[in-house]
Amino acid sequence: MQELLNKAQFQKLKEIKNPHLHDFIAKYVKLCNPSKVFVCTDSVEDEEYVKKKALEYGEERQLANPNHTVHFDNYYDQARDKENTRILISENIKLPYINTYDRKKGLEEIHKLMEGITEGKELFICFFTLGPPNSPFEIPAIQLTDSAYVAHNEFLLYRKGYEVFKRLKENPRFLKFVHSTGELDERKTSKNLDKRRVYIDLDGEAVLSINTQYGGNSIGLKKLAFRLTIKRAVEEGWLTEHMFIMGVNGPNGRVSYFTGAYPSMCGKTSTCTLIHEKLVGDDIASIRNINGEARAVNAEIGVFGIIEGVNEKDDPAIWEVLNSQNEVIFSNVLVKDGKVYWSGMGIEIPDEGENHSGKWWRGKKDKDGNEIPPSHRNARFTVRLGAFRNVDLEALNSPLGVKISGIIFGGRDADTLPPVSEAFDWVHGVITKGASLESETTAAILGKEGVRKFNPMAILDFLSIPISKYIENYLEFGRKLKHKPKIFAVNYFLRDERGQFLNEKEDKAVWLKWMELRVHDEVQALETPIGFIPCHDDLKVLFDRVLNKDYSKNDYIKQFTIRVPELLAKVDRIEKIYQENVKDTPEILFEVLEEEKDRLMKAKERFGEYISPLNFV
Ligand code: SPV
Ligand code: MN
């Protein structure tokens, strides 16, 4: 180590008495062979150094606002690379829906690609923790990266962990991430995309990611760590979920906390940042049973959010942050005269500038003849949660997290589920709302849009263990809770027979208030075959109070009609998926789905195929 690092940097590492850590660092520094190594402690100076280097090395550029920078990813490196993201496993087995690869072969292959990959570059060694330090949720992690942009993102998104590492006992468990952008082109974007690899070594609790910069592939503590923590959580009996955490303000100053799982681009960040509610986290929640309560913490302290469609009216809290003096990294937006622009921002966008495609003008086409929009649809912003006016800092920093009253599952669904419904109980919710989640594909993923896809718990892209084990753990987790959160499903994307959306974007604020009242048993609900739905009278009061809108009975009937043929078809699809593709599915899943089918058939006999909610009064 002493040979590889200069004296000051070596000294910083020496203060962490952990041979296992030193071996790991030495191994990858030797392999990648950077010309320089910088070790980040928790000091402000070290963070400032990284920020300065992101500008100096050209991965970020200064914008007119002194606290704003912009970064571009390669035109073909704009999203998570599912194909080249592989879970390395030792046994020769196939896991449905999971991209697995032989561990030995995978490690050999990627280590070969990593030989000398950081030559001539500076390598940053950073320490963080997922969850609050000194708490039951704490998970220490180390990141090696030759990208100051990646390290900068991590300083905005995660809690610093150098001091945590210093106090760890010998041979503790920690997560390890090694990242290299690989060779950069003249725009400082990753060039060798044909050698892009994200290899997840479950046994070694390490992820190696190369020849990419897009955050979802490169920021170790985000979706790369998620694959590792999902495995840990199932082994240890807790949950780590693709969920926001938010406090919903109830009557008389009461705050009730909810978590919510939605696939990317289905309203997750928009929901938890609602300006009149309390924001705790937008992407990854760890949930543990503490004294019989389900308690959640945000693994992160920042937001790496989608910027498209963020405007003053629909997302005032995010808008405010992006227009403030807080630190922001923008990525893959349009830049003109030091200012940034994106699609759907609600103000006029210039006809030219610079974006993820280089110099841009309206009408510009890419190699395949597709017109290039001003900003990429997966363009993002990185900010600290502390920048939000409505952040709940006490909840964010609480070592024991917050007590969860409700869990919400949301998807993009044109024709099946009503805007909000409540499961009968934990098991019914886990199976019919979570494990049965389907969502239409969006521009976030390459390929056709609007195709219905199975996406249990909105976690399918990140799953690293068999689905059956994951669901069993959920059921078991609930079984052991003294106070079980209620489980809800929401659907912001329901349409009528002409294809028109049946709800406004803002209506989600009302569904939250209704759920808040339900978890305290303060409103009645109607029992339908798929769970409980709101009564018109209660929604009318809430629409008036929250949105100052009249909510007609006619709208209510359209939105909350129980669509039996679609619901039955959905149960059939889900049953088939589990029967045909998921070995060892817990038997109870089929039982619960059969019961649901039964209720739907009986209701159909009595009331017909499309049942007005008024029939359930
Ligand atoms: C998501 O797509 O769910 C994200 C962004 O939160 S990424 O880091 O790409 O996963
Ligand atoms: Mn996410």
Please enumerate in sequence order all residues whose Cβ is within 8 A of that of 518, keeping only pairs 6 or more positions apart, or say none.
406, 422, 486, 488, 525, 532
**Residue 272 falls in the annotated catalytic set:** no
What is the residue with the minimal CA distance to atom 3 of ligand 1?
A: 264
Distance 354 CA to ligand 1 centre (A): 24
Q: How far is the CA of 38 from the centre of ligand 2 (A)?
A: 29
Measured from the Cα of 263, ligand 1's closest atom is 3
Q: Among 264, 306, 381, 412, say which to mutate for ligand 1: greatest number of ligand atoms within 8 Å of CB.
A: 264
Tokens of 216: 């979802």
What are the two backbone dihedrals, phi and then psi, of residue 533, each rounded to the nearest 5 degrees? -125, 160
CB-based burial, 107-124: b 16+ in 10 Å, e otherwise: bebbeebbeebbeebbbb
Query: Taking ligand 2, which is a single-atom ion, which protein residues have CB atoms under 5 Å away?
Result: 283
Confirm if 617 and 526 have CB atoms less than 8 A apart. yes
What is the C-alpha separation between 80 and 189, in angstroms, rounded?
Answer: 16
**Catalytic residue, candidates 40, 266, 272, 535:** 266
Ligand 1 center–CA 337 separation, angstroms? 29
Beta bridge partners of 285: 241, 298
User: What are 473's two structure tokens?
Assistant: 């753990």
Atom 6, ligand 1: residue with shortest CA distance:
283
Of the candidates 483, 526, 571, 546, the residue with the CA atom closest to the CA atom of residue 275: 546
CA distances from 559 to 118, 172, 268, 283, 492 (A): 56, 53, 21, 28, 10
- Residue 445 has a pLDDT of 59
Residues 6+ apart with CB under 8 A from 3: none
d(CA 508, CA 262): 13
Pocket test for ligand 1, best of 223, 266, 461 (most atoms within 8 A of CB): 223
Q: Which residues share a beta bridge with 281?
A: 245
pLDDT digits (tens, 9 = 90+) for 389-440: 999 999 999 999 999 999 999 999 999 999 999 999 999 999 999 999 999 9
Residue nearest to atom 8 of ligand 1 (CA): 216
Specify the residue with its C-alpha closest to ligand 1, atom 2. Answer: 264
Q: How far apart are CA 316 and CA 274, in angstroms?
A: 8
Tell me 430's DSSP state: I
Which of 366, 352, 249, 268 shows the shortest CA–CA distance to 309? 268
CA 223 to ligand 1 centroid distance, Å: 7
DSSP annotation of 169: P
Q: How many CB atoms lie within 10 A of CB 533?
A: 22
Burial of 506 (0-12, 13-18, 19+ CB in 10 A): middle
Q: Return phi, psi of residue 297, to 5°.
A: -125, 155
Q: How many Å lie between the centroid of ligand 1 and the Cα of residue 436?
A: 21
Q: What is the 3-state secondary structure (H, E, C) of 312-378?
A: CCCCHHHHHHHCCCCCEEEECCEEECCEEECCCCCCCCCCEEEECCEEEECCCECCCCCECCCCCCC
| Ligand 1 atom with minimal separation from the 214 CA | 9
Closest CA to 176 of 128, 137, 109: 128
Radius of gyration of the CA atoms of the chain, in A: 24
What's the pLDDT at 172? 84
Ligand closest in space to the Cα of 285? 2
C-alpha–C-alpha distance, residues 300 and 331, integer Å: 19
| Whole-number pLDDT of residue 265 | 86
Ligand closest to the CA atom of residue 304:
1
Q: Letter for the amino acid at 317?
A: A
For residue 444, which atom of ligand 1 is closest to its CA?
A: 2
Summarised one tens digit per residue, pLDDT across range 321-331 is: 999 999 999 99
Amino acid at 81: D
Cα(256)–Cα(236) distance, rounded to whole angstroms? 27
SS3 601: helix
Structure tokens at 517: 């009242």
Among protein residues, the one with the nearest Cα to ligand 1's atom 1 is: 264
Residue ranges around ligand 1 (CB below 6 Å): 80, 215-216, 222-223, 264, 283, 304, 444
pLDDT of residue 446: 54
| Structure confidence at residue 4 (pLDDT) | 78
Cα 543 to middle of ligand 1, angstroms: 32
Given a cut of 50, the residues of the chain with pLDDT beneath it are none
Residue nearest to atom 7 of ligand 1 (CA): 216
